[in-house]
Structure 1
Amino acid sequence: MCCLSIIVPVYNVEKYIDKCLYSLANQTLNNIEIIIVNDGSTDNSQSVIDKYVSEYGDKMISFKKENGGLSDARNFGLKYANGEYIGFVDPDDWVEHEMYERLYDYAKERNADIVISDFIYEPESYITNSALISNIDLSLKKNPEMLLIEPSVCNKLFKKSLFDVHAIDFPKGLLHEDRVTIAKLFFYSEKTVYIGEAFYHYLKQREESITTSRNIKKFSDIIVVLNKMEQFFIQKNFIIPVQQSLETLIINSYFSFCIRAVNELNNEKMRYSFMDEFRDFILERYKKPYSIESFKKSNLNKKIVLYLLIKRKYTLVKLLTKLKNKVRG
């Protein structure tokens, strides 16, 4: 068994993959394996992969498969992973050379199942701060608010036994796939710790309009994902401890996605359909949504918008958001 397996799903990223693989090939941690899964790329990504595998064949291995999406590629990589710990890197990002040595050493030092670090958002080189406390155990069973932190798997290190013992994978065919998987990993983790350093460079692509097919799917998938999370905690008899955090997550998702739909989706029928679907999702769970804690804690502007959304006053929401955007300049 090696110390660490790093899984890199690849699909049509010939412009970025070289920088990603270079950062992984030069990790200061020894005894690692880098598993590259080409998920049916149609560009020249494979030729870049081949170059690195030929040079770093002692720690890099590549697989080619038919396109199945990000979750499917990650699940494929997990099947071949032999590391004590698992890391995930997206192919258009890159990491600091000492990232995995620092995370692995910290995991061993603290006897942790999960280690969380911070992101460096590019191209601004803006460092996120998770505002977590580094000297306490952050496991979900002790800190249900962990459900609200950044759900990406890429800034974290996981003990592989979490995936193996509890049969955890990534839900295929869904966007927001990290949310369900992270919720399960946090639930089963006996000890989760935060290192308080940033190693992972996340390249922000220009955000797509919600009118693209990917973001239309992203909008509808969030409802499926939130429902899967809720059902998981109900099944595990853990819904009461996470109730408030889950409510906050649902309300925040409802607010942000509906605002995007109002501002960006010109097809009125489709816009109303999405917003009604999310509204129904809210009202099925909360007969009196205005009385739940996360609504009460919202600022006045958010309360007004949420009230109008629930009352289906979508035109007023559009006017308010336009006015707010105009005031901002």
Structure 2
Amino acid sequence: MKVLTVVIPCYNSAAYMDRAIESLLIGDENLEILIVDDGSSDNTSIIADEYEKKYPNIIHTIHKENGGHGDAINTGLKYSKGIYFKVLDSDDWFDKNSLKKVLDILKNMINNSKTLDMLIVNYVYENINMHKSKSINYKGAMPEEKIFTWDDLGHLKNSQNILMHSVIYLTEILKKCNLQLPKHTFYVDNIFVYKPLPYVKTMYYINVDLYRYFIGREDQSVNEKIMIKRIDQQIKVTKIIIDCYNPMIIECKKLRKYMIKYLVMMMTVSTVLLLKDNTEKSLNKKKELWYYLNSKNRDLYREINKSFLGLFVQIKGLVGKNIILLAYSLSRRIFGFN
């Protein structure tokens, strides 16, 4: 049994996967690295096999047919031997000193029989187009270096959403919530981080910049033009997130509030991209998405309509549209995403 499994989903990642893998090589055999080759056609499989041969006690390679990012994570979860589980995308990397601290804390939790469902760390936007690094931390919103519950959670700013980059889950939690990500679908990281939340009872926050999130490549899934082209997948994920929201299993009011806030973010992204595309087809998709939310959960629809997004979606015509797009543009400049 390993302390932590880190899964690296790889699809044609030969040009940059070395940096991700090397960032995990800290000489600790309590760490398991699973490189999941998702049907690559370049040298990804060769590079992965070479690492496994060089570090057989730490690195294992899994070769599979192409199923997309989510299916690679599903496969990693299936073969994981770690008590805790984290995903590292093949074009991102970890800070080694922060990883050492994370592993020490997880070992301490295990050795002292402490129950910890989710560990949270900072992540850093590395935006090559804006020549900007932006650390996202949870100072002021979460107690630092102590076990806490949802009742202890402070106010999370809009910049402090809990993302896949910032979480390390107890593997058992992911299996308990029957996490199964859809195949051939982008943006499934939202499902990964969202669905297990009601099953999380105990958390721990470390104020270190572990995850370096690289954005700005032209072919990257978070490139705005590509997101517009893949809007159907964004809508699909947003609908799955809506379906995941079940107030019957959300025990804490603060957690319920946060999960609604996250849904506001998801609805905002889909709405903005559809407005930016500005075709009749896209505008009809926007209406259909809001209708889906209303038909699935009327109370949730009302809650989201109280938000900034909901208020301005109700403003018909150019005024409402321009306000939403302006707010999105400002957020992008401040926080460095897309």
| Shorter-chain TM band | 0.7 to 0.9
Distance 2:326 2:178 in 1: 45
What letter corresponds to residue 224 of structure 2 in structure 1? S
- Of 231, 243, 260, the residue aligned with 1:247 is 260
8 Å contact from structure 2 (residues 305, 311) kept in 1: no
Contact (CA 8 Å) 2:3, 2:107: kept in 1 or not?
Answer: no
Q: Which amino acid aligns with 1:216?
A: I
8 Å CA contact 1:176, 1:222 repeated in 2: yes
Residue 93 of structure 1: how far off its partner (Å): 0.6
> Counterpart of 2:286?
275
1:3 aligned partner, one-letter code: V
The separation in 2 between residues aligned to 1:179 and 1:36, in whole angstroms, is 21
Distance 1:316 1:64 in 2: 51
CA distance in 2, matches of 1:167, 1:253: 21
C-alpha distance in 1 between matches for 2:223 and 2:263: 22
Judging changes above 3 Å, is the alpha-carbon distance between structure 1 residues 21 and 135 closer, same or farther for their aligned structure 2 residues? closer
Q: Match for residue 180 of structure 2?
A: 170
1:316 offset after TM fit, Å? 3.4
Q: Which amino acid aligns with 1:119?
A: Y
Task: Call closer, same or farther: CA 1:223–1:321 in 2, change over 3 Å.
Answer: closer
- C-alpha contact 2:120 2:206 (8 A) present in aligned 1: yes
Distance 1:193 1:322, change over 3 A: closer
Q: Secondary structure at the match of 2:172?
A: helix
Residue 309 (structure 1) aligns with: 313
* Residues 187-229 of structure 1, C-alpha deviations (whole Å, 9 max, x = no match): 2233211011111111013442356575312431243122222
Gaps of 5+ in 2: 334-338
Cα separation, 2, equivalents of 1:280 and 1:239: 27
1:217 aligns with 2:232: yes
Tell me if the contact between 1:209 and 1:215 (Cα under 8 Å) persists in the aligned partners. Answer: no
Q: Which amino acid aligns with 1:81?
A: S
Find the residue that maps to 2:320 and give its secondary structure.
helix
3-state secondary structure, aligned to 2:313: helix
Q: 1:321 to 1:156 in 2, by over 3 A?
A: closer
Q: Which amino acid aligns with 2:179?
A: D
Aligned pair in 2 of structure 1 residues 278, 210: CA closer, same or farther (>3 Å)?
Answer: farther
Q: Could you tell me which of 136, 141, 144 is aligned with 1:134? A: 144
Q: What residue identity is the alignment partner of 2:241?
A: L
Aligned to 1:4: 4
Q: Does 1:125 align with 2:133?
A: yes
Matched, 1:261 2:271: no
What is the total number of aligned residue pairs between the two structures?
A: 312
Instruction: Provide structure 1 residue ranges, at least 5 long, that are not aligned to the other structure.
Output: none
The one-letter code sitting in structure 1 at the alignment partner of 2:34 is I
Amino acid at match of 1:80: Y
CA RMSD in angstroms comes to: 3.4
Deviation at 1:160, TM superposition (A): 2.3
Q: Which has the larger radius of gyration?
A: 1
Q: Using the alignment, how far apart are the partners of 2:287 and 2:225 within structure 1?
A: 16
Give the TM-score normalised by the residue count of structure 2. Answer: 0.78
After TM superposition, the structure 1 = structure 2 runs for residues 1-329 of structure 1, keeping only pairs within 5 Å, are 1-24=1-24, 26-110=25-109, 111=114, 112-122=116-126, 123=128, 124-131=132-139, 132-135=142-145, 137-140=147-150, 143=153, 150-164=161-175, 166=176, 168-173=178-183, 174-206=185-217, 207-210=222-225, 215-231=230-246, 233-234=247-248, 236=249, 238=251, 242-263=255-276, 265-266=277-278, 268-284=279-295, 285-286=297-298, 292=303, 298=308, 306-310=310-314, 313-320=316-323
Summarize the Cα distance change of 1:183–1:256 in structure 2 as closer, same or farther, 3 Å threshold. closer
TM-fit CA distance, 1:23? 1.2
TM-score by length of 1: 0.80
After superposition, what is the alpha-carbon deviation per residue over 1:144-186, rounded to whole angstroms, capped at 9, x for unaligned? 978985343343322222234x153232234442333333433
Contact in 2 for aligned 1:144/1:242 (Cα 8 Å): no
